[in-house]
Amino acid sequence: MADLQPQDLEMYSEVADQIEEAVGRRIAGQPDLIRQTLVGLLAEGHVLLEGVPGLGKTELVKAFSEAIGVDFSRVQFTPDLMPADIVGTQVLAEDDSGHRRFEYQAGPIFTNLLLADEINRATPKTQAALLEAMQERQVTVAGETRPLPRPFLVLATQNPIELEGTYPLPEAQLDRFMFKVTVEPPTADVLEEILRRTTGGAIPDVPLAADLETVSRMIAMTPALPIATHLLVYVSRIVEATQPGGDTATPPVKRYVRWGSSPRGAQAMVLAAKAAAMIEGRLHVTADDIRWAAPAALRHRLVLGYEASAEGVRSDVIIDELLHTVPEPKPEIRGTP
């Protein structure tokens, strides 16, 4: 494990601020979205962006790639998209001497930031190819395994409307995403700012805020941040409480949740909390970091039942109630805070 130094942490915090500021020049009024994406980047966790078209999801990914100076690819997922269209394929090539041989032509997945646009429109086979690469951070084509470049971050989008002709991601594949970020429509003020920036003829530039090496070190340092045991207990309690059959499940969980979070949800919360602490320049994780990370880390991992669908209950409501119900570990002494 990398050796984390306090002075490095201060620098990383400043770099993170610069990245957020740089991306914020392009993406107006979405600080949480930018923060969550940056956390996903530092924790090397893929992010599923859910929102209606036109909210700047593609611009977000582009801005990030420009801010940290990394490669960026965008794949528009459609029903006829094949796995080879993503991971690449062997093609017959002829050299100068006229010999023909198969040559691997890399797909768009060989990049640092991959925007998988409308991922739920591709067939499950194609989705599975992508998700395997996300998990393994490598692809195998024609018996040859090829590692993906680091950092490697997939930002997938899916449209919550127009579900006809789509292939909703299976739960197991959803679990591969560290975060699911809901992109909310902009408010009037934000929209005004967007209009000012995008209708003036010149799109704001995104300055380079960090080089690839620095970002890679930040990614490597993130897991090294200390987290106290009682916070791990806290995370465990939260995840345990999402299980509707568990003793600690809250009434809404028992009523609306069919399946609770997997251990990956707990891992995602801890890593995201560490990344958030690093961005804040803190030397350790706090319970606030846990609570901040919980909704994005858990909302796509709760499988809701029919009752929730019928009553329009969203997982965010259940998670919010969970965070208010599950107690943070504290002294069991009357009168203490």
Partner 1 sequence: MTDNRRGFLRRIRARIRLAWLAATTQRFLPHLGLVVLAALLVSWLSPFDQGLLLAGAIAAAFVLVLLAGSLLLRISDWDASRAAERGLGAKDVFSTALEFDDENDGVHRSIQDRADRIAATASPAVAIPIHANRRRLRQFGIIAALTVLVGILPPLGSSPALSSDLQAAIEEEADQIERLAEAVREANVETSEEIIAELERLAEELRSAETVEQALQLLEDSESRLEASMDPEFLSQKTAVQGLARDLALRPLSTGSALDAASQFRDLAESLGELSEPELAALEDRLSDLAASQAAGNASLSGQLSEAARALSSGDLAGAARSLQDAAAGQQTGLQDARGQQALGETQRALEGARHRLSGTADPNQAQGQGQGQGQGQGQGQGQGQGQGQGQGQGQGQSQGQGQGQGQGQGQGQPGAASGIISGVAPGDGTAAGQGGRGTVGQGTGEGFGSEVGAASVFDPVDRGNVSDMLQVGIDGGSGEGAVIGTAEAPTQTGQSLVPYSRVLPEYLNEAADALGELQLPPSMRGIVQTYFDLLADEAG
Count interface residues toward partner 1 (CB under 8 A): 27
Q: Which stretch binds partner 1 (CB under 8 A): 4-12, 146-154, 204-212, 254-262?
A: 4-12
DSSP assignment string, 100-119: EEEEEEE-TTSSSEEEEETG
Structure-token pair, residue 59: 């611009």
Asked whether position 6 contacts partner 1 by CB under 8 A, the answer is yes
CA-based nearest residue to 119, from 108, 106, 130, 104: 130
Q: Say if residue 99 is exposed, middle or buried (CB neighbours under 10 Å; 0-12, 13-18, 19+).
A: exposed
For residue 61, the Cα-to-chain-centroid distance in whole angstroms is 11
For tokens 């966790």, the residue is 45
Please, what is the minimum distance in Å from the beta carbon of residue 273 to partner 1? 11
Asked whether position 334 contacts partner 1 by CB under 8 A, the answer is yes
Please, what is the minimum distance in Å from the beta carbon of residue 5 to partner 1? 5
- The DSSP 8-state label assigned to residue 151 in this structure reads S
Residue 191 CB partners (closer than 8 Å, separation 6+): none
Among 283, 307, 311, 324, binds partner 1 (CB under 8 A): 283
Among 74, 150, 282, 314, binds partner 1 (CB under 8 A): 282
Among 1, 202, 310, 333, binds partner 1 (CB under 8 A): 333
Q: Which stretch binds partner 1 (CB under 8 A): 5-13, 38-46, 205-213, 236-244?
A: 5-13
Among 34, 119, 209, 285, binds partner 1 (CB under 8 A): 285
Q: Which stretch binds partner 1 (CB under 8 A): 19-27, 141-149, 311-319, 323-331?
A: 323-331
Exposure string of 133-143, with b = 16+ CB inside 10 Å and e = fewer, is bbeeeebebee
Which is closer to partner 1, CB of 145 or CB of 336? 336
DSSP assignment string, 281-301: T-SS--HHHHHHHHHHHHTTT
Which is closer to partner 1, CB of 196 or CB of 284? 284
Binding to partner 1 (CB under 8 A) within 231-260 occurs at 231
Which is closer to partner 1, CB of 95 or CB of 332? 332
Q: How many CB atoms lie within 10 A of CB 46?
A: 23
Query: What would the x/- binding string for partner 1 be over residues 126 to 155, using CB under 8 A?
Result: ------------------------------
Which is closer to partner 1, CB of 145 or CB of 229? 229
Asked whether position 336 contacts partner 1 by CB under 8 A, the answer is yes
Exposure string of 166-200, with b = 16+ CB inside 10 Å and e = fewer, is bbebeeebbbbbbbbbbbeebeeeeeeebeeeeee
Among 286, 305, 313, 314, binds partner 1 (CB under 8 A): 286
Where on the chain is the footprint of partner 1 (CB under 8 A)?
Answer: 4-6, 9, 224-231, 282-288, 329-331, 333-337
